[in-house]
């Protein structure tokens, strides 16, 4: 993966570094980088959700770009809790760099209720989420 200057993108607002990873907040989307070997559950995602509500307000209408250059696991059943709590995402863009990342994307596609796409470059994922109305 090549180096990327997150602060140079238009509408950059803030970077949050959590135990599970680093999250770059923009006006209409978040780029996530989960740390190697993490296991993401509802409890571990709750800290990010609380920060996002504090940053964007309770009516969050953003997209998430998951930049997956590390290997980690997600408890897919917890997506149901995300929706049950009333949270919504405009779209989910997943950037994969290998075959296992693509396989994970196929599993997530079944869980996600809204727009979801796989990309092989962060730049293309950003273009897609910024083009959504």
At residue 38, the pLDDT reads 84
Q: What is the pLDDT of residues 41-83, one digit of tens each?
A: 878 788 888 899 899 987 778 898 989 887 776 766 665 666 5
Beta strand 21-26 with 39-40 is unpaired
Q: What is the pLDDT of residues 80-132, one digit of tens each?
A: 666 566 567 888 898 988 766 656 666 666 666 678 888 989 999 999 999 98
Which residue's entry shows tokens 């993490």? 38
At residue 81, the pLDDT reads 64
Average pLDDT rounded to a whole number, residues 30-38:
89
Domains of the chain: 13-131 (3.30.750)
Cα of 70 vs its chain's centroid, Å: 13
Tokens of 11: 């509408």
Start-to-end CA distance of the chain, whole Å, equals 29
pTM of the model: 0.84
């Amino acid at each position: 993966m090549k180096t990327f200057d997150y602060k140079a993108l238009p509408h950059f607002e803030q970077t949050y570094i959590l135990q599970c990873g680093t999250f770059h907040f923009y006006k209409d989307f978040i780029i996530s980088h989960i740390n190697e070997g993490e296991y993401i559950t509802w409890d571990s995602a709750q800290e990010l959700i609380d920060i996002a509500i504090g940053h964007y307000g309770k009516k969050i209408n953003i997209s998430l770009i998951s930049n997956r250059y590390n290997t980690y696991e997600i408890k897919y059943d917890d997506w149901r809790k995300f929706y049950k709590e009333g949270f919504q995402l405009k779209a989910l863009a997943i950037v994969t760099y290998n075959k296992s990342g693509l396989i994970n994307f196929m599993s997530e596609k079944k869980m996600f209720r809204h727009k979801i796409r796989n990309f092989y470059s962060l730049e293309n994922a950003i273009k897609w989420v910024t083009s959504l109305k």
